[in-house]
Each structure stands twice: as structure tokens, then as C-alpha cells.
Chain A
Amino acid sequence: MRKLYGGVILFASMALLAIAVPAGAQTTAQTTARTAAPAASRYEASKEVTLQGNVLDIVTKAPAGKLIGTHVIVATSSGDVDAHLGVYAMKGKNALTLTPGERVQLVGVMTTAGANQVFLVRTIQAGSQVHQIRNVHGFLLRPAKASKGGQA
């Protein structure tokens, strides 16, 4: 099998191409869709906060009404926080491991999912290891990258 993702990132050059193409060469009226206005982003880096606390519980199978995936209940100075790690964080060869009582630092955004408040975790630091759970737009990362420490 051929290896993927081994080369130059071409998409940056594509973006440049989009800018560099002469206006006359584009068929803007006929070929460009009118982009719909997206709903307000629920995950914005500008709204990220950092929380520190101790792990109270690790819930690997979320109860009904909660987001699918692992939840960590963290006791912070402001109260208990339901932190969502998704389905990949505790998988893979460098999977995140947590124990009750362990001190953690979370970076993410507090939001509402269904009827529940939940903290969408982008990074979690346990000890000296920083695990990236989501990308900067809030989307969960697959295990191969999510399990790499120090990638935040």
C-alpha cells in the first residue's frame, strides 16, 4: 500500500490559487453558490476557558441524554463540571488514562447539549502529559493524533 499524508500540504497552495486566479477567469455568477449563513458557532476559541480541579469520576458510558463518549466529572473551585472527552481520547496506544482524585487542567468551552450543561474539552493535562481531544474548531480528533501527548 502507498503511504498517505506523506507529502506537501497542497491545500494551502489551493487557497492561494483561489486568490491568485484572475477575476476574469472565474465564473462567479454561475458557479459560486450563495453561502448560507451558518448558525452561531458553539465552539469558538475566543470563548475557551481553563479549568483546574480533581477528577471525581470517569464515566465511560454516558447515560441517556448526555453526549456519547467518555465524560470526566471534575471538582473545581466553582463546582463540579461535566467534561466531555468524546469516543477517542481513551483509545489507542497512547490513550489518556485518568484516576479518581487526579489533578487535571482542562481547556475548552462550556455549552449546552440537549438539556445539559457540558464542557467540551479541547485539551486535558494530567501530570506532565497534555492530550489534545478536539481541534481549535471543537471537532473531535481521531485516536492517532488525539493520543499524541504535547500536541496542544
Chain B
Amino acid sequence: MNRKPLIFALLVVGALALAGCGSSNPAIIIQITNAPATLTANQSVTLSATVTNDPSTGNVNWSCTPSSSCGSFSPTQTANGGTTTYTAPAAAGSVTIVATDADHTGSTASVTISIVAVGSNGQLTGNYVFFAQGTDLTGEPYFVEGTIVADGNGNITSGEQDYVDESAAAGPDTVSGTYSISQNGQGSVTLNVNDITLPSGGTETFSVALTSATHGLVIEFDASATSSGTLDFQPTAAPITAASIVGSYAFAVNGLDSSESPAALGGVVSINASTGSVASGTVFVNDSGSPQTVSVTGSVTGPDSFGRGTISLSGLAYTYYAVQGEVLRTIEADADFLAGGAFYGQGTPGTNASFSNTSLAGTYAFFESGSSVNGSLAIAGQFTAASGNLSVGVADTNDGGTNEHGSIAASPYTLAGNGSGSLTLPGGPSDTEDVSALLIFATDPTLNLLDPNNTTTGVGGALILDNDSNAVGTGLIVPQATGAFQGNYAVNLQFFPGAGGEEDFVGQSTQSGGSFTGTVDLNDNLVTASAVAFSGSTTADSSNVGRYTGSFTVGANSYHITYYQVNSGEFFLIDTDSGDVGNGFLQSQ
């Protein structure tokens, strides 16, 4: 029997079939984005799934396993590229998130997320970027930043950090250490830094108040330094690479110039870590009331395995640690300035976002910290923005111990296409004192400036650079959503150096009926005290929804505090005493 025709026919059919598969029915691909490796019990996160090669609707059905205890989605079906809010279950464990093509149920994608209990060493698992600024034992301002790798069992297995004060700079230094997180999210991290020349002698202790498995507030809690800062999860499931750090970035840093006078810098720069270049940018400098504008170019290195890299802007030198591609905690240390702050992306990496006056629309809360001719400076407030004008605004200013509470009415702002603009506050007695001329730099509308891994609330906003002749500082503008608040909150307050030096505290409290109770760790001018009794009170300002007045009591000391609500989970705080200047945060757990 001659089998050649049959074989030939089969080959033709097979070839046609393969060709048909290749040309008209390419494989459907589903990709889940923004899934973290770890979530705290009951924590929510926004997930998205994109479907390609689906000739149908491209809708996605969301599910998870184990089905009876894996959490929930809202909504359970999304359009192609749409977002759903996933809320983790109440119990710790491992869950698998599944995105299924609604029209082709055989096409799925999945990710596994570790759910950890609130208050346990397991809450710190993976890489975390920390950043803090304050005063060390030399009496000088200092900045410390780095990445630590927590094993979930109380060990910092590896990491590296940079430390800079007025006299010297160190880093990257390798770190290891231990940590402990208690049930209420409070804890301690002790780092053994491979550098005995540091003011700490190489041992740094931080007190932590976690708000979730991906964010916390910190202070340095030892006799070598006191400071306040943040701790943020650095996702490693999709490692941060040079390609992650490409696009336009807004930045702002606050510190000193080489004559030890207050200075702050900010601007918008176009960074490409893949090519190693900073193609263009404009840096605004307020050097003790002397404003300058400088066009810059420069270079950038991609992140190392801990997310560390460097950025050079025409001689200005920054070291960064990437929380993610769009969030770079940074220290500036060069011949001209010593400062700290952050770079924030203005849009999806690789893109250059476009802004206008309408990019600021709605109600916003803001704060700034820095210095004026009177001394230390803090301001917090809220306003409504629309079409280039602020209205219905109010602010509290503590200007060297001189406190003002005033309205912000009909103040103009501009925002250019690159997100760089200005905002004018009244500036004057009974208004905002020395704070008037602010430069603003818009950030990615999908980015949460206060908690970068939380993309469910409070996204968007802008950075502030105070460009006044009487005041220097930096701050944030973030969308405001007023309303009820209740539950557990991490609290942090930083009092700037006064007659008694700097004081910082961080801790945890429960809020009910407008009152807070809890404990904090206190570093009062390098004298530390653990688990100090903390209480607070709030009284709503009936004329300004979102503003509250009240007090904090920490041990034997009481402080007048004004709260500006960012949303149900976040508040800006300003100390309104005549003997102290400070500001801080309340963030829900």
C-alpha cells in the first residue's frame, strides 16, 4: 500500500491547522498586575488584569482559593484592564488569586499572596526600604536610608544603608540584624551596620509602628540619633531594574547648604536608568531665601540588588533606594547641599505624563516642614482646587513658635504640562505667616505618596517646594476625603530642634469617639523611653470639615495638635504650641 498521499494529506492538514492557529487564534494571554507578595489580614489592594488576543469581550472573572477562606473581590468581574479591590481574609495563610477570561474559561492567570496576621514578625517578610531624617549625637542633621531583608522570623538577613550628616557620609554599608513586631504592630528593628565610624558605632535601633505588612512609621530609637521616617515594602516578585526607573520624575529634598543654612531643592527631571542618562530637567533651589532655577542634565545608575542607585544632576549628587520604580527615597550629599526627600514618578514608567491646571481638581490636604527666619516651621491645611484657583481653604502655621490659623481664599495656582507649577498662599500675619510662594510638582495620579504600596485610596497629588524669601521647606499635597474615622492608628510626631533638642515619638493607638489611647516610644534628645502612655483628643472644626483641634498627652507632657484629615485612614498633624514646632502623621492599621 502506498501511504505517501495519506502522509502528505496529514501533513497539509496539520500545516493548515498550525497556520490557522498561528494566524487567527493566537493564545489568549492574561496578566495580573499590582499583586503584592504579602498582605496583612483584612488588608485591601487594587488588582488589575489585562487580556490580549481575546476576540471576545476580554472581561475577567476574579476568584481565589481556598474558596471558603481566601478573601473577596469587588467587583468580581472587570473589563479588560479594569481594576478590582481584593480584600484579604481575616486569617493568615496563603491564597491564590485567579483571573479567568470570562469568555474563554480555559484561559487563566494566577498569583499567590501570603496573608500574615496583624501583629507578628511575619508582617515583616521580604525587602523593605527605610528612610529617616533627624538629629544625631553631633547635634547635626542627618539622613539615613537603606533596604533591609526581613525573614518573617525576627531576623534581618541582609541589606545595605547610606548614612549622611554634616561631617561625613557613609555607604553603602552592609547591614544585618534582628527585629520584633508585637500584636499591635509596634516593634523594634536593630541593625548591625558594617561601619564602626558611624555615630552609632554601627548599631542602630529603630522603633516601628506598622500600618500594614507593606508600610510603617519609624523613629531612630537610641542614644546616637533621633529622627522620623518611613518603612515601605519593596516588591521583589517583579524585581526593580534599570528599566523600572525610566520617565519623568518630580522630586523634593529639604536640608542645609554648605554654610549650614536651610536649603531645599525640587523640580522635574527626565530619568532613564536603562541608558544611564538624565536627559533634561529643571531644578529649583531655595537656598535660605535665595531662589535659583537651574537647567540640568546628568546620569543615573540602575538599582543594585537592594534597589540602591545614584542620580547626578549637573553636580548635585543623590543616592536613592527604590521602593518601586516610581518611588525613590533619596539623600542628597554633595559639596553644596545635605538634604533628604524622594523622587516620585509622574506616570507609568517609560512615559511622560501631561498635566494642566485641571490636574488639581477637588479637595486636598497639605503639609510642609522646614525653616523660616523665625526658626523651625510647620504648616498644614486643606483647600479646594479648581481651574487655577484655590478656595475654601484653611491652614495652621507654626512659625518658630508663632501660631496662626487662617483661611486661604481665592489663591492662584498654575500647573504646566510637565507637572511643574506654582501655588500662592496668603502669607502674612493671621494667614499663613512666612509661607506664601510655593512651587508644586505633580506626581503620578495613580501613586499614593504617603503609602506607595497602597493604591486603593489617596492616590495622586504633588510635591511642595517653599520658594519664599522668609521660608524654606518641602511638603506634600494629597487628595482629601473627609468622613468618619475609627479603629487603630499608628502615630508619629517629630518636634524640630528647639531649646531642648529634637524629639520624636512613634506608636500605636486606638481611636473611638474622637479619643486616642495607646503607647509610644519616645526619643527626647537622645534619651529614649519605651511604651510611654499616649492619649489624644479631637474636636471637629464645624466651619472646616476635615480639620480637628485637640491635644496629645505623652507621659507627663501635653501638646496642642491640629489634625487635617487626608482620608479615613490618614491625617496630617501639626503641633500648635508656642514652645515647640512639629508635625507628623496618623495612619490607620
B119 within 8 A of A: no
Q: Are B258 and A68 in touch, CB under 8 angstroms?
A: no
A9 to B579, CA, bound (A): 37
Query: Could you tell me the distance in whole angstroms from the C-beta of A126 to the nearest C-beta in chain B?
Result: 20
Contact of B280 among A27, A39, A86, A87 (CB under 8 A): A27
**Residue of B at shortest CB range from A63?**
B578
Residues of A within 8 A of B399 (CB): 113
Q: Which of A50-80 contact B (CB under 8 A)?
A: 60-70
A24 to B400, CA, bound (A): 44
Q: Are B467 and A138 in touch, CB under 8 angstroms?
A: no
A134 within 8 A of B: yes
Q: Which of B471-508 contact A (CB under 8 A)?
A: 472, 497-499
Q: Are A69 and B498 in touch, CB under 8 angstroms?
A: yes
Contact of B422 among A2, A7, A33, A66 (CB under 8 A): A33
Q: Are A138 and B373 in touch, CB under 8 angstroms?
A: yes
A7 to B197, CA, bound (A): 21
Choose among A42, A92, A146 the residue with the greatest number of B CB atoms under 10 Å from its CB.
A42
Q: Are B414 and A10 in touch, CB under 8 angstroms?
A: no
Q: Are B294 and A15 in touch, CB under 8 angstroms?
A: yes
B1 within 8 A of A: no
B555 within 8 A of A: no
Query: Could you tell me the distance in whole angstroms from the C-beta of A95 to the nearest C-beta in chain B?
Result: 11
Q: Which of A124-138 contact B (CB under 8 A)?
A: 134-135, 137-138
The segment from B25-33, B122-130, B212-220, B331-339 that touches chain A is: B331-339
Q: Are A34 and B414 in touch, CB under 8 angstroms?
A: yes
A17 to B169, CA, bound (A): 27
A3 to B110, CA, bound (A): 50
Residues of B within 8 A of A113 (CB): 374, 399-400, 402
Quick one: CB contact mask for B414-431 with A, threshold 8 Å, 1 for yes?
Answer: 101110111110011100
Q: Are A137 and B469 in touch, CB under 8 angstroms?
A: yes
Q: Are B579 and A64 in touch, CB under 8 angstroms?
A: yes
Quick one: CB contact mask for A5-48 with B, threshold 8 Å, 1 for yes?
Answer: 11111110111011001000111011111111111011100000
A142 to B138, CA, bound (A): 11
Query: Could you tell me the distance in whole angstroms from the C-beta of B319 to the nearest C-beta in chain A?
Result: 12
A14 to B338, CA, bound (A): 16
Residues of B within 8 A of A31 (CB): 268, 280-282, 295, 416, 418, 420
Residues of B within 8 A of A9 (CB): 258, 335-336
A129 to B293, CA, bound (A): 37
Q: Which of B305-337 contact A (CB under 8 A)?
A: 314-316, 333-337
Q: Are B373 and A32 in touch, CB under 8 angstroms?
A: no
* A-side interface residues, number (CB < 8 Å): 66
A114 to B256, CA, bound (A): 26
A15 to B222, CA, bound (A): 41
**Residue of A at shortest CB range from B352?**
A30
Contact of B470 among A15, A42, A67 (CB under 8 A): A42
A108 to B504, CA, bound (A): 32
Q: Which of B261-290 contact A (CB under 8 A)?
A: 261-262, 268, 280-282, 284-285, 287-290
Q: Are A140 and B375 in touch, CB under 8 angstroms?
A: yes
A63 to B401, CA, bound (A): 10
A106 to B440, CA, bound (A): 38
Contact of B315 among A14, A39, A146 (CB under 8 A): A14
A26 to B293, CA, bound (A): 12
Query: Could you tell me the distance in whole angstroms from the C-beta of B333 to the nearest C-beta in chain A?
Result: 6
B519 within 8 A of A: no
A112 within 8 A of B: yes
A80 to B108, CA, bound (A): 81
Contact of B417 among A13, A30, A41, A67 (CB under 8 A): A30
A26 to B469, CA, bound (A): 26
**Residue of B at shortest CB range from A114?**
B402
A114 to B288, CA, bound (A): 21
A144 within 8 A of B: yes
A41 to B336, CA, bound (A): 24
Contact of B427 among A25, A39, A61, A92 (CB under 8 A): A39
Residues of A within 8 A of B291 (CB): 35, 38
**Residue of B at shortest CB range from A132?**
B259
When A and B form their complex, which 5 residue pairs have the shortest distance between CB atoms, in order from nearest?
A1-B168, A39-B427, A138-B373, A137-B289, A36-B437
Extra contacts, 6 of them, besides A14-B314, A17-B314, A141-B261 (Cβ < 8 A), are: A6-B335, A33-B416, A36-B438, A38-B436, A39-B437, A39-B469
A-B contact pairs, 18 of them (CB 8 A): A1-B197, A4-B169, A13-B315, A17-B294, A27-B418, A30-B417, A31-B420, A35-B437, A35-B439, A36-B436, A37-B424, A62-B499, A67-B400, A68-B376, A87-B497, A91-B139, A139-B262, A140-B371
